[in-house]
Amino acid sequence: MFCYQCQETAKGTGCEIRGVCGKTEDVAKLQDLLIYTLKGIADIVQKGKLEVSELADINHELLRSLFMTITNANFDGDAIEAQIRKMLSLRDNLRAKASVQDLHDAAVFKVDTREEMLEKAAGVGVLATKNEDIRSLREMMIYGLKGMAAYSEHALNIGKENVDIYKFMYKALASTLDDSLSADDLVALVLETGKHGVMAMALLDEANTSKYGSPEISKVNIGVRKNPAILISGHDLTDLEQLLEQTKGTGVDVYTHSEMLPAHYYPFFKKYDHLAGNYGNAWWKQIDEFESFKGPILFTTNCIVPPRKDEIRDRIFTTGSAGYPGSKHIVADENGKKDFSEIIEMAKKLPPPEEIESGAIIGGFAHNQVLALADKVVDAVKSGAIKKFFVMAGCDGRMKSREYYTEFAKALPEDTVILTAGCAKYRYNKLGLGDIGGIPRVLDAGQCNDSYSLAVIAMKLQEVFGLDDINKLPIAFNIAWYEQKAVIVLLALLYLGIKNIHLGPTLPGFLSPNVGKVLVEKFGIAGIGTVEDDIKLFMEQ
């Protein structure tokens, strides 16, 4: 196996025996074959000039397939094998209908057994592209597509989709099979990926706010009550809605976990009294926190950490693109309805969660809420009360070097404000950093996709201050990344013209030296240094 798609990749260069995330060699290979199958479908769509708006089933399964291969989403080899079979059958039907000539092997290969799949996968993974720069660009694009697919799937679950996103996905996937494309062609496609990332995030923002209202300043309890409870993790708000409806009046409370925390900011969810609070911290702390939670856990997406004990695995349920071998997977019926009764019955028999923290945290600073406070914010900047904003969005992770972000937040001058989104926030959202004239010093916009909100805020401030360049704003970008949704967020920010982004705790292993050089020269991308040096550098910029 070879996988280097996330920040925790072995030695910073690639996992070759087993994933640091816990992904087995077989699962890694099956994921590679699934991606290869998608490339084959894209080849048929592109060469056959097929009308993408007429491919609804395939479009939706394309999102699902890409999402299943995101870091920490699906560890279940059987589920991935089943998805390969489904996509091969869709591919073969499409090919029969389209009758296109000169198709790539990805569009015609045949496999039958799991052994044949694994054998085929060995020759079509990341390392099949020999030139390291071309490989780097192809993979960066694919990782961007994975992030884009995740956001598009959440929007689709709310009934919103954009055919231009699917069209681009086919174009980009097919381009990774085309050996005639130069590095420059691929750089252009990578930037186009960012453009479509903005579209996907805007679509999801529209879907979320049209269904659940605009996030507003909210206080979220981080302590516990005395009732038995279910913990819901991941990013899908429609799953949360269904769970809350089904637990109404059962005596079972629901707590959010990790990236589900921002659900509390939406007006729609405030009517559920049994939505009791947020339990725990970023994804990687689940090993201990699931133990003390006591009740069942529902994963709607990543990030799953392979549980150390069977007892915990048996309390884990997955749905959507998530999966874990031995944990029960809940499938939607043809109307998208999911039956969570087994989880609710399990919760009733288990003890209530054990308290690990108490008090409350504040969030809900997505674009609408911040723009409602725009006068106050602009005044604070003009008067010098706020010197600088720091966008510290992205992900958290296990590496010790991520302590940098807590130290950085603590060391920032008191006239600065942190704009955050994603699970990166858990490194500094409980530090009690105070406020500036009533504006909290940590403004949480929401999930990682709500980084879009931060870009909207920046663009609005650019307009208010009458600046010709977004980079002249007093905003610095110090982003933490982990998995592929962060890749699409980064590409989206680059597309929006944002320069000098610092990316850590380490630069991606999938950047070849030459591709890394392009990012540095064209966009001023940099890594992180020491807290002291970086703060000095940012404040002088």
CA angle 225, 229, 230 (to 5 degrees): 140
What's the closest the beta carbon of residue 234 comes to ligand FSO, in angstroms?
A: 8
396 scored as a contact of ligand SF4 (CB under 6 A): no
Question: Which alpha helices (H) appear in 388-435, and where do they start and end?
Answer: 403-411
Q: Does 318 bind ligand FSO (CB under 6 A)?
A: no
Contact 504, 527 (CB under 8 A): yes
Q: Which of residues 380-439 bind ligand FSO (CB under 6 A)?
A: 395, 422-423
**Which of ligand FSO, ligand SF4, none does residue 425 bind to, with CB < 5 to 8 Å depending on kind?**
none
Rounded to a whole number of angstroms, the minimum distance from the CB of residue 260 to ligand FSO is 9
Q: What is the dihedral of CA 361, 198, 176, 517, to 10 degrees?
A: -80
| Per-residue binding letters, 229-268, with ligand FSO (x by CB under 6 A) | -----------------------------xx---------
Please, what is the minimum distance in Å from the beta carbon of residue 204 to ligand FSO?
12
Please write down the long-range contacts of 425-428, taking CB distance under 8 Å and 24 or more positions apart: 425/392, 425/396, 426/258, 426/281, 426/282, 426/396, 427/282, 427/396, 427/402, 427/403, 427/480, 428/392
SS3 category, 363: strand
Does 127 sit near ligand SF4 (CB under 6 A)? no
Instruction: Note whether 235 and 215 are within 8 A (CB).
Output: no
Nearest Cα to Cα of residue 36 among 98, 96, 83: 83
Cα 278 to Cα 323: distance, rounded to the nearest angstrom:
23
Residue 330 β-bridge partners:
319
Query: How long a stretch of residues is the chain?
Result: 541
Residue nearest to ligand SF4 (CB): 19
Distance CA(500)–CA(528), nearest Å, equals 12
Residues 6+ apart with CB under 8 A from 165: 148, 152, 196, 199, 200, 203
- Unique residue bearing structure tokens 């290969």: 109
367 binds, among ligand SF4, ligand FSO, none (CB under 5 to 8 A by kind): none
H-run or E-run covering 422? none
Residue 8: name its binding partner from ligand FSO, ligand SF4, none (Cβ under 5 to 8 Å by kind): ligand SF4
Coil, strand or helix at 526 = strand
Q: Does 6 bind ligand SF4 (CB under 6 A)?
A: yes
Any contact of residue 205 with ligand FSO (CB under 6 A)? Answer: no
> Of these, 166, 279, 389, 482, which contacts ligand FSO (CB under 6 A)?
482
Name the binder of 135 from ligand FSO, ligand SF4, none, CB < 5-8 A by kind: none
Q: Which residue is associated with the tokens 């961007």?
A: 144
Given a contact cutoff of 8 angstroms between Cβ atoms, the answer to whether 484 and 516 are in contact is no
19 is a contact residue toward ligand SF4 (CB under 6 A): yes
CB of residue 447 vs ligand FSO: minimum separation in angstroms?
6
The CB-of-117 to ligand FSO minimum distance in angstroms stands at 26
19 binds, among ligand FSO, ligand SF4, none (CB under 5 to 8 A by kind): ligand SF4
* Residue 105 near residue 44, CB atoms below 8 Å: no
For the chain, what is the total number of helices (H) and then of strands (E)? 18, 15
> Residue 20 binds which entry of ligand FSO, ligand SF4, none, with Cβ cut-offs from 5 to 8 Å by kind?
ligand SF4
Closer CB to ligand SF4, 6 or 458, in the complex: 6
Q: What's at 182, amino acid-wise?
A: S
Residue 5 in the binding site for ligand SF4 (CB under 6 A): yes
Write the single-letter amino acid at 12: G
One residue of 3, 33, 305, 392 binding ligand SF4 per CB under 6 A: 3
Q: Does 302 bind ligand FSO (CB under 6 A)?
A: yes
**Partner whose footprint covers residue 35, from ligand SF4, ligand FSO, none (CB < 5 to 8 Å by kind):** none
Is position 27 an interface residue for ligand SF4 (rule: CB under 6 A)? no
The residue from 143, 266, 283, 340 that contacts ligand FSO (CB under 6 A) is 283
Q: Does 68 bind ligand SF4 (CB under 6 A)?
A: no
Binders of ligand SF4 among 328-387, rule CB under 6 A?
none
Question: If binding is defined by CB under 6 A, does position 140 make contact with ligand SF4?
Answer: no
Binding site for ligand FSO (CB under 6 A): 258-259, 283, 302-303, 395, 422-423, 447-448, 482-483, 485-486
Binding site for ligand SF4 (CB under 6 A): 3-6, 8-9, 15, 19-21, 23, 28, 71
